[in-house]
Structure 1
């Protein structure tokens, strides 16, 4: 079912038995962290009226589901694959290349699942940023512009569009297939060595191009929102000194939420950047085996960071999570 492709250069992360065991322990701990953290996020979001009835709560729930899918499908498959490869006298079926077999390879499901969930996370963070920016920049129009129905439609479009992009490369080009990569220890897109390889790599460049376009827009909107918050803070201080009041400023909770989403954006941008660098490096002919392992798994660990950011930045979330985990 799985085989480890030949490598001319042994990589640091997979050469020795000790390193392989440490890698498996890391993967298992990551599964626990992803499942636990995002289960708490869903429990707080669904079980608390403050989060359940708001568009922001819908978006946070969507983000948690995407991260949960990574912990349920993607990382466990890597654990299974590594354990299978480590079993003595194990002779897996050669299914690394879709053109060599008619049997359905698990990577045909796991690869698009990871890519799709990553794209869902990026677009959801973008939608969260839009939602918070409207609350900060146009507080009087927040209720009329940001509705639960519109948010639900955008979430559905986000999921459908993300998974369409995830399967698009293999549907568009026969030169692109999915394999279990011995460097990244994940199911990755690969390109056949033929005359169409250049075109295929250009297709794969659509992923970092799309992701950085969305992330770039998200960062810009966050900067505008945070700049507006700073101006509101100065104005509020000035009005307080003049013993005046204003009704057009965003609420304190909106400001806190905007800062939380800003932190979330920075964390995701930092975790995704190595993947983009790796893909571009592959296009120009670099192998970067060790780097691919760290790039893909840095991105994967981002799936358990959301609950940590919420807990640190959002007092209501932290209080509700504490109630669920430590009932009185």
Structure 2
């Protein structure tokens, strides 16, 4: 949704006048393209690593949890595999003096849909973890497979329905290619009520759900940690603070500037400086890479399973290299089979979703 910003095309003169022949160094346009490509590669590689792990069972993660995390990984992967290539293609092929066209409407629709789906998916994950922590005994009945798939379907199907007016070339929303942010942007300044309603239906509800659910889990974990100090000198690491605080900080850092700029542009009808526009438009895509860190790499079970997957790939792709190690290959193979069996056993559990669930005592 964050790529739904539209700023004035007056920035064309800034880019055209800034070393058009590239004789004095890289132009702002080439720098922006390089930043987008590097960010897209990081997001794609990070989510590929995540997919390699969560497509199989991970200790401590229920089936519902894996479905939600797969949905988040797919939404984050769309940043690097769909949003960035489409906008870079338009920026390289489109004549920026031309007006809006049908293809730019399609690109803007894809941008807004992917951004909105990512926010809804983050909200559903927070809701599922809240249920897992505070209702562990009713988790299996509350988070059934049918309800899980319905929540995921809502996160993926509702944004296209809500944002469908963007895809029509002759609709109520005008779309132009922005040379400042290198994206196809709908012009919400022509329809202020529609743009404000989008933030009220997408950003604010998702932010409220995430904030409430994660704050409740964090407070409960803190109370439990204080109780445990009375009976033990050494307590576990504060997993809730290590996971929940970075997740919420990254979410608001990446999404709030974009939403604020969109509301400012819709209400005032004026644009923001070129580089500020570029940063606020592309900053939410970095959340697709940060999610890989906060939701996955902090989890010890995920790291162990990732090392196991790499080990199995190395044995499958390089058997000669494995044989040079000696008897370690046989030992590693047996170790792999044992770990997989253990993970499959743990995988059938439908209790807590993440390590934060173990912080609470429901006595």
> Closer, same or farther in 2 for the Cα pair 1:157/1:191, shift >3 Å?
closer
Give the Å deviation of 1:260: 3.2
Give the Å deviation of 1:206: 2.0
> Closer, same or farther in 2 for the Cα pair 1:317/1:112, shift >3 Å?
same
> Closer, same or farther in 2 for the Cα pair 1:257/1:109, shift >3 Å?
farther
Aligned partners of 1:34 and 1:303 also within 8 Å: yes
Distance between the aligned counterparts of 1:296 and 1:84, measured in 2?
21
Q: Which residue of 2 aligns with 1:304?
A: 289
Distance between the aligned counterparts of 1:273 and 1:35, measured in 2?
23
Aligned partners of 1:129 and 1:258 also within 8 Å: no
Instruction: Look up the SS of the partner of 2:181 in the other structure.
Output: coil
Q: Which residue of 2 aligns with 1:226?
A: 218
Q: Which residue of 2 aligns with 1:23?
A: 32
Instruction: Structure 2: state its 5+ residue gaps.
Output: 1-7, 316-363
Greater relative contact order structure (CA < 8 Å, 6+ sep): 2
1:50-129 to structure 2, matched below 5 A, reads: 50=59, 54-84=63-93, 94=98, 96-98=99-101, 105-129=102-126
Q: TM-score, normalised by structure 1?
A: 0.78
Q: Deviations over 1:199-245 (max 9, x none)?
A: x122012222231232123112211111011112223444669xxxx
Give the Å deviation of 1:152: 1.1
1:236-251 to structure 2, matched below 5 A, reads: 236-238=228-230
Q: Is 1:270 paired with 2:253? A: yes
Instruction: Look up the SS of the partner of 2:10 in the other structure.
Output: coil
Q: Deviations over 1:272-299 (max 9, x none)?
A: 1111111111121221042221101111
Q: TM-score, normalised by structure 2?
A: 0.71
Give the Å deviation of 1:154: 0.9
Instruction: Look up the SS of the partner of 2:269 in the other structure.
Output: coil
1:185-264 to structure 2, matched below 5 A, reads: 185-191=182-188, 197=190, 200-210=191-201, 211-238=203-230, 256=239, 260=243, 263-264=246-247
> Closer, same or farther in 2 for the Cα pair 1:64/1:147, shift >3 Å?
same
Aligned partners of 2:53 and 2:302 also within 8 Å: yes
Q: Deviations over 1:90-118 (max 9, x none)?
A: x5793x325xxxxxx32222212121111
Q: Which residue of 2 aligns with 1:295?
A: 280
Instruction: Look up the SS of the partner of 1:288 in the other structure.
Output: coil
Distance between the aligned counterparts of 1:169 and 1:202, measured in 2?
14
Aligned partners of 1:132 and 1:257 also within 8 Å: no
> Closer, same or farther in 2 for the Cα pair 1:313/1:270, shift >3 Å?
same
Aligned partners of 1:179 and 1:187 also within 8 Å: yes
Q: Is 1:33 paired with 2:30? A: no
Report which of the two structures shows the higher radius of gyration computed on alpha carbons. Answer: 2
> Closer, same or farther in 2 for the Cα pair 1:14/1:215, shift >3 Å?
farther
Instruction: Look up the SS of the partner of 2:114 in the other structure.
Output: helix
Distance between the aligned counterparts of 1:14 and 1:314, measured in 2?
49
Aligned partners of 2:165 and 2:171 also within 8 Å: no
Q: 2:146 aligns with which of 129, 143, 149?
A: 149
Q: CA RMSD in A?
A: 3.1
Distance between the aligned counterparts of 1:300 and 1:92, measured in 2?
24
Give the Å deviation of 1:8: 6.1
* Count of aligned positions: 295
Q: Deviations over 1:281-322 (max 9, x none)?
A: 112122104222110111122222211223442111122223
Q: Which residue of 1 aligns with 2:325?
A: none
